[in-house]
A and B are shown apart, each in its own frame.
Chain A
């Protein structure tokens, strides 16, 4: 049995290095601000969020029928559809497709699902070389680290980190920290692998049942390069990614990138309905615990997630600790509510890596009640005896806040200024085990309510200047 991931302890290393901590915090907050600005440009933004939530809830509550519809349409379009119950079966299917054709190298674009399945080490143990073609994912691969963020896998690294890494791996100039130069180094080194590849792999952002299509969004064009250049395209997709129609796809495309980076859309939003002439296309529909989660009354809503990472960008704990501290495939608020469904004990402490400020819920484009689920997971951990005594105190404080609706409404209102500075108290106060290794600002046991009242006064002063 795995021992629990200690996110707070893992974060220590990251926090000890103030350059990385402050930079990440600032960068992610900028992304959150860009997201807000993008949302304000769309008058129907809130209506779109409601629609997205309703479409996802409709689809998930009729999931079996939509999966069957997708399978039928995709097969009619010429795709080969596979079903994988778990990560091992998924990896084995990919391996068999490649081995059947004697393929020993694969170019692939970023897919959190393949991270979840640990596909790369599985294939590498079988002598299949994998080249990640997403810049951030490739950086993490070269550094032998998992992604630290689901949209920007290497976002926690500075340009200097990348310059040093590329100089070691590619022989480039270690002193040239120019991002355009470094992107060029990656392009030059990856392009040959893409051109000679006999197989390419992508994930999918959406799967459209009505048309049997998969939809992939990237800024780099690497998914299209990986999918089109070789004559074999393998696409792995979680069963929850399905949506009913092309008409509904529009709602999600409008929300996805705005929520992620603040841009209106990604550079490339590609719809694949079938293989090109002379090529082969496989789609692997992966369960790996999703159907079980669908039956969890308190937690099935997390399956609505479209992987925009808005909840991570806004989360004060994530911003200050970096994604690697979670020790999990999915990190930040969405990771906290997804990971315990994979392994309860291992991820039993993650629900405490949260201030329960509700900002994650406020920015979620599909209206997942993330912070309420985080609190519910704390209760589950307590029910299952997976909880440390000190964390029970933290939970009681959160419980007090949550049990007073009026107070809670105030606490979770979109007060960006308050949220921006929230970590200083809410993370590092003595009741929060997550922050125990950090400065403890006041010896007094200030409650969240007291803190909020005090903070509010200061905030009002600042915001009214």
Chain B
């Protein structure tokens, strides 16, 4: 099989040049949807019959948690591609994805803890869902630390990629934890195969926020990747031309 297309796509210079317009498009779309979903969720959606207004945290907590898990797959798959096909760009994407994922996981844990206080009467319990999310944060931090622990860039990339791949096992555990164990955390309210247990008036802004967070994730990943490309290729003529401008 001819893998030349993959290597062309894996060229940092090619990627940097082709993604310029994507940055603007994704940024504008993500910001618009974030504003729309936030205003709708905070001010126009009705209060929950049991949880009152504290449930409005759902509009940032659930999307950030879901995107932090999906982002882990993005990072690990990029690492795996880098290990198999040795494409420079894959390792750059993997490195750029780690801090974004860490920030979003931290935000999901924080908002979940604050939501837990009025809902369950406690900020924190060591149940399966919350503990596995904390492990996800440690995995992200471990990958960031591993990237900085080596002088040799190639060794740093390869070891971080292996850790990312091994850590993938945690993501399905997070997802299934509320079914496999007795947890304080509520089960999923949005179901793809069955009817969702959330009222449509509350669901629509949540769907908007899902799209907004995914778009924001890819926007910030794109920008972080472009900055990392410039850092790694700083000795090349084309990067110097860009940095001069």
Chain A partners chain B: no
By a beta-carbon cutoff of 8 Å, the part of chain B in contact with chain A is none
By a beta-carbon cutoff of 8 Å, the part of chain A in contact with chain B is none
